[in-house]
Structure 1
Amino acid sequence: MELQIQLKTLADKINQLKDKIETEESTKHAFVLPFINILGYDTFNPTEVVPEFTADLGLKKGEKVDYAIIQNGEPILIIECKNWKENLSVHGSQLFRYFHVSKTRFALLTNGITYQFFTDLDEKNKMDQKPFLEFDITNLKDNSINEIAKFHKSSFDVNNIVSNASSLKFIKEIRKQIDAEIVKPSPEFVRLFASKIYAGRLTEKVMEEFTDLVQKAFGQLIGERINERLHLALNKEVVIQEKDQLEEVEHSKVNTSEEELEAYRVIVAILRRKLPVSRIVHRDTQSYFGILLDDNNRKPLCRLHLNGGKKYIGLFNNDKNEKREPIQSVDDIYQFEKELLETVRLYEVE
Structure 2
Amino acid sequence: MIDNIFKERVLAHSQHVLKVGQFCSTEETTKQALILPFLDILGFAPYDPTKVKAEYSADFQGSKNSERVDYALFCHDVPVMFIEAKSYSENLTNHSPQLSRYFNATPEVAVAAITNGREWLFFTDLNEKNLMDKTPFLKINFENFDETKITQLCKFCYDKFQPEALRMLAEESIYLTAFTKIITSSLKEVDIEFIRYVAGRSNVGRQLNQRFLESIQPIVKQAVEKTVSAMVVYGLSSKNESVVEETDEIEVIDETAPIIDPENNKIVTTYTERLLFDYVKMILGDDVNIIAKDTESYFSLLFNGKSNRWILRYYDNKQRPSIVVPIELTDEHKKEITRAKLELSGNQIIIDRPENILRISGLIQDSLEYCQNNDNFRRGIL
Both structures adopt the same fold (TM-score exceeding 0.5) = yes
TM-score bucket (shorter structure): 0.5 to 0.7
TM-aligned CA deviation for residue 212 of structure 1:
7.4
Residues 117-196 of structure 1 correspond to what in structure 2 (within 5 A)? Answer: 117-178=122-183, 185-186=188-189, 189-195=190-196, 196=198
* 8 Å Cα contact 2:195/2:213 also seen in 1: no
| TM-score of the two chains, using structure 1 as the length reference | 0.58
With over 3 angstroms needed to count, the CA separation of the structure-2 counterparts of 1:62 and 1:9, relative to structure 1, is same
TM-score by length of 2: 0.53
Q: Report if aligned partners of 1:190, 1:210 keep a CA contact under 8 Å in 2.
A: no
Structure holding more helix per residue: 1
In structure 2, how many angstroms separate the alpha carbons of the residues matched to 1:28 and 1:72?
Answer: 24
Map residues 202-217 of structure 1 onto 2, 5 A cutoff. Answer: 213=222, 216-217=225-226
Query: 1:82 matched to which residue of 2?
Result: 86
Pick the structure with greater CA Rg.
Answer: 1
Q: Is the 2:18–2:143 Cα contact (8 Å) retained in structure 1? A: yes
Task: Tell me, in whole angstroms, the C-alpha distance in 2 between the residues paired with 1:190 and 1:69.
Answer: 48
Counterpart Cα distance in 2 of 1:11 and 1:167: 25
Kindly indicate whether the alpha-carbon contact (under 8 Å) linking 2:100 and 2:132 is maintained by their aligned counterparts in 1. yes
Residues 60, 18 of structure 1: alpha-carbon distance in 2 compared, 3 angstrom cutoff: same
The residue type equivalent to 1:155 in the other structure is K
> Relative to structure 2, which stretch is displaced further, 56-65 or 109-118?
56-65
1:202/1:99 CA distance change after superposition, 3 Å:
farther
Amino acid paired to 1:154: D
**Number of equivalent positions:** 237
Amino acid at match of 1:236: E
Q: Does 1:8 align with 2:47?
A: no
Higher relative contact order (CA 8 A, sep 6+): 2
C-alpha distance in 2 between matches for 1:150 and 1:113: 19
Equivalent residues of 1:100, 1:126 under 8 A apart: yes
Q: Provide the rounded CA distance (Å) in 2 between the counterparts of 1:100 and 1:52.
A: 17
CA shift for structure 1 position 237: 3.0
The Cα of 1:214 is off from its aligned counterpart by 7.5
SS in structure 1 opposite 2:48? coil
Alignment correspondent of 1:285: none
Q: CA deviation at 1:150?
A: 1.3
Task: Tell me whether 1:33 sits opposite 2:36 in the alignment.
Answer: yes
- The aligned residue for residue 97 of structure 1 is 101
Say whether residues 1:19 and 2:22 are aligned partners.
yes
1:114 — aligned with what? Answer: 119
Secondary structure of 2:18's counterpart equals helix
Offset at residue 74 of structure 1 (A): 2.2
Is 1:64–2:52 an aligned residue pair? Answer: no
Which residue matches 2:264?
A: 237
Query: Which amino acid is the alignment partner of residue 145 of structure 1?
Result: I
Per-residue Cα deviation, 1:147-191 (whole angstroms, up to 9, x for no partner): 211111122222332334322321133335545666xx34xx433
Change (3 A) 1:192 1:233: farther
CA distance 1:235–1:34, change in 2 (3 Å) = same
**Equivalence for 1:282:** none
Q: Residue 233 of structure 2: which of 224, 232, 249 is its match?
A: 224
SS of the residue corresponding to residue 35 of structure 1 reads helix
CA contact (8 A) 2:192 2:213 kept: no
| Residue matched to 2:349 | none
* Percent of residue pairs identical: 28
Which blocks of at least 5 consecutive residues in structure 2 are unaligned? 200-207, 241-257, 269-295, 297-382
Distance 1:124 1:216 in 2: 43
In 1, are the aligned partners of 2:34 and 2:117 still within 8 Å (CA)?
yes
Higher alpha-carbon deviation: 152-161 or 30-39: 152-161
Provide closer, same or farther for how the CA distance between residues 181 and 115 of structure 1 changes in structure 2, counting only shifts above 3 A: farther
The SS at the match of 2:54 is strand
* Distance in 2 of aligned mates of 1:165 and 1:238: 41
Q: Secondary structure at the match of 1:238?
A: strand
Unaligned runs of 5+ in 1: 246-350
Question: Would you say the 8 A contact 1:53–1:68 is kept in 2?
Answer: yes
| Equivalence map 1:259-338=2 (5 Å) | none
